Amino acid sequence: MRNNDCVVVVLAAGKGTRLKSALAKVLHRAGGGSLVEHVVRAAMPLKPRAITVIVGHQAEDVAAVVEPLGAETVVQQPQNGTGHAMLVAKRAIGRAKIAIVIPGDAPLVRTETLANLLRTHRNGNAAATILTAVLHDPTGYGRIVRRGDGRVTAIVEEKSTDEEARQINEVNSSIYCFTLEKLWPALAKLRPNNVHRELYLTDAIALLNQQDDAVLAEVAPDPHEILGCNTRAELAEVDRLFRARKRAVVMEAGVTIYMPQSVLIDPEVEIGADTIIEPSVHLLGKTRIGARCKIGTGSILTDTVLGDGVTIKPHCLISASRLADATAVGPFAHLRDGAVLLERAKVGNFVEVKKSVLANGVKAMHLSYLGDARIGAKTNIGAGTITCNYDGRQKHPTFIGKRVFIGSDSALVAPVRIGDGAYVAAGSTITENVPADALGIARGRQVVKPGWAAARRRESGREGHRDTEAHRKRRIQKRKSRSRKPRSRKPRKKSSRKKSRR
Ligand code: UD1
Ligand code: CA
> Nearest ligand to the C-alpha of residue 229?
2
Residue 161: its H or E element: none
Distance 228 CA to ligand 2 centre (A): 5
Model confidence pTM above 0.95: no
Q: What is the pLDDT of residues 367-399, one digit of tens each?
A: 999 999 999 999 999 999 999 999 999 999 999
pLDDT reported for residue 79: 96
Instruction: Report whether pLDDT(478) > 90.
Output: no
Pocket of ligand 1 (CB under 6 A): 11-14, 25-26, 54, 76, 79-82, 84-85, 103-106, 141-142, 155, 157, 171-174, 200-202, 228, 230
Give the three-state DSSP class for 178.
Answer: strand
Closest ligand to Cα 157 = 1
> Percentage of the chain surpassing pLDDT 90?
89
pLDDT of residue 312: 99
Question: Residues 152-169: what's their mean pLDDT?
Answer: 93
Query: What pLDDT sits at residue 492?
Result: 54
Sort strands 373-375 and 29-30 into parallel, antiparallel or unpaired: unpaired
Active-site annotation, residues: 366
CA of 173 to the centre of ligand 2 (A): 9
- Ligand 1 atom closest to the CA of 85, numbered from 1: 18
Sign of CA dihedral 246, 252, 255, 258: positive
Other C-beta atoms lying within 10 Å of the C-beta of residue 140: 15
Residue pair 424/368 in contact (Cβ under 8 Å)? The answer is no
The answer to whether the Cα torsion of 30, 31, 33, 35 is positive or negative is negative
Ligand closest to the CA atom of residue 11: 1
Candidates 31, 178, 28; CA nearest to 109 is 31
User: From ligand 2's centre to the CA of 174, what distance in Å?
Assistant: 8
Residues found in the chain: 502
- 128 burial class (0-12, 13-18, 19+ CB within 10 angstroms)? buried
Q: Whose CA is closest to atom 8 on ligand 1?
A: 200
SS3 44: helix
Read off the pLDDT of residues 77-135 as tens digits, 9 standing for 90 and up.
999 999 999 999 999 999 999 999 999 999 999 999 999 999 999 999 999 999 999 99
